[in-house]
Amino acid sequence: MSRPLIILGLESSCDDTAAAVVSLERAGKAEILSSVVQGQTALHARFGGVVPEIAARAHAEKLDLCVREALEQAGIPLARLDAVAVTAGPGLIGGVIAGVMCAKGIAAGAGLPLIGVNHLAGHALTPRLTDQVEYPYLMLLVSGGHCQFLIVNGADDFLRLGGTIDDAPGEAFDKVARLLGLPQPGGPQVEQAARGGDAARFRFPRPLLDRPGCDLSFSGLKTALLRSRDAIIREKSGLTRQDRADLCAGFQSAVCDVLTEKTRRALIAYLARNPACPVLAVAGGVAANAVIRAGLETVVADMGGRFVAPPLALCTDNAAMIAYAGAERLALGHRDDMTLAARPRWPLDQTSPVMLGSGKKGAKA
Ligand code: KG4
Ligand code: ZN
């Protein structure tokens, strides 16, 4: 029996510096031997968003420390690795360059193959790492920087069915939190406030539901909430706790309705191509939202499918997903060389039209 591939992965495309070691057996079974993530939330907190220059410097300072810790925790020396995989895009370019340069240094120094990984492919292949999901399956990426539906046919074969034309949903949650004076990251705060709220008091729009297809839009929702907030403030010169809860509940319910209806359409489009029992997998911080998650689960169950949600630590940015995607690429015989370039934009599906919009967390590809 041949021994498993052991891959070191590096991730630095946004505001998390991460390194991980993952093993992949020929039969497809993967194991995370270590996964180190150093967030930068505190560094950016007073600026109200990720500052690309600050992020890039922090990545350059922390990457080698994360790598050392990941190797130590895994108990794997450099000489035992089969390759170094690194996020080569899409993302904030300074951070991506820091990761690619670090990976090149390790690969050249240790004489290892170098593998460039698309960050979105890392998210999209995570259900295979955590749940050994077979190809093909439908993927919904919903985070602060991404929002798209993908049919995942293989490690290098993605079909984009649709995505956001402006903000990502997590970005909208964060903006709404800011408008209501709640702390960042806004998603969990808005969800918590919404628990005591009446979702029917404000009827926010359900953007793009009147148009066919799987594209989404979230920026208008945030503007609608702003108008309702200002109307209350004009009337009563301030917001009560109940007003805030009702605004949050109304907003969350609108996001949930849009995501579940677009997911239903994406499942129909998926089934037209792959008539067997569909699997819908989710990734991204917004998948932590219990109301949205329950909505997605219901729509998948109604259509006779299976819902897969990897543990939250692997839904959000991490390097285990990059190491795993690198291992799949290596197993297919792909490898890069020292000409590997960092790419700010890198659509997974090269055949679909380029998406619009670029949020606080960088290009959405
Ligand atoms: O995947 P992630 O950790 O980072 C990237 O965006 O790459 O996602 C973070 C986003 C933030 O915008 C955060 O507000 C949102 O996910 N989020 C949530 C919840 N938890 C995190 N949004 C809604 N409800 C939640 N419970
Ligand atoms: Zn991500």
Quick: pLDDT tens for 143-176: 988 899 999 999 999 999 999 999 999 999 999 9
Torsion of CA 45, 47, 49, 52, to 10 degrees: -110
| pLDDT for the residue numbered 146 | 87
pTM score: 0.91
What's the 358 CA to ligand 2 centre distance in angstroms? 14
| pLDDT for the residue numbered 342 | 97
Residue ID of nearest Cα to ligand 1 atom 14: 187
Euclidean distance between CA atoms 159 and 191, whole angstroms: 31
Query: What is the enclosing helix (H) or strand (E) of 10?
Result: strand 5-11
What's the 321 CA to ligand 1 centre distance in angstroms? 17
What's the 202 CA to ligand 2 centre distance in angstroms? 32
Ion ligand 2 — residues with CB under 5 Å? 317
By DSSP bridging, strand 137-142 and strand 147-154 are: antiparallel
- The list of the chain residues with pLDDT below 70 reads 1, 352-365
| pLDDT for the residue numbered 353 | 60
Spatial contact of 22 and 129, defined as CB atoms under 8 Å apart: yes
* Residue in the structure block whose two tokens are 């605004």: 247
Backbone angles phi, psi at 280, to 5 degrees: -110, 120
Residue ranges of the domains in the chain? 5-134+313-347, 137-312
By DSSP bridging, strand 114-118 and strand 137-142 are: unpaired
Q: How many CA atoms lie within 13 A of 358 on its CB side?
A: 11
Question: For 118-129, b where at least 16 C-beta lie within 10 A, e where not — what string?
Answer: bbbbbbbbbbbb
| pLDDT for the residue numbered 26 | 84
State the architecture of 137-312 in CATH terms: 2-Layer Sandwich (3.30)
Same CATH topology for 5-134+313-347 and 137-312: the answer is yes
Give the residue, out of 12, 143, 291, 364, with the most ligand 1 atoms within 8 A of its beta carbon, to mutate for a pocket test: 143
Spatial contact of 280 and 308, defined as CB atoms under 8 Å apart: yes
CA distances from 27 to 91, 99, 247, 340 (A): 32, 30, 50, 29
Pocket-forming residues, ligand 1, beta carbon under 6 Å:
14, 143-145, 170-171, 173-174, 185-188, 191, 284-286, 288-289, 316-317, 361
Say if domain 5-134+313-347 classifies as CATH 3.20.20.80: no
Closest ligand 1 atom to residue 288 Cα is 26
| pLDDT for the residue numbered 335 | 96
By DSSP bridging, strand 358-359 and strand 362-363 are: antiparallel
| pLDDT for the residue numbered 251 | 98
Tell me the Ramachandran region of residue 175: left when phi exceeds 0, alpha when psi lies from -120 to 50, beta otherwise.
Answer: alpha
What's the token pair of residue 288?
């932590």
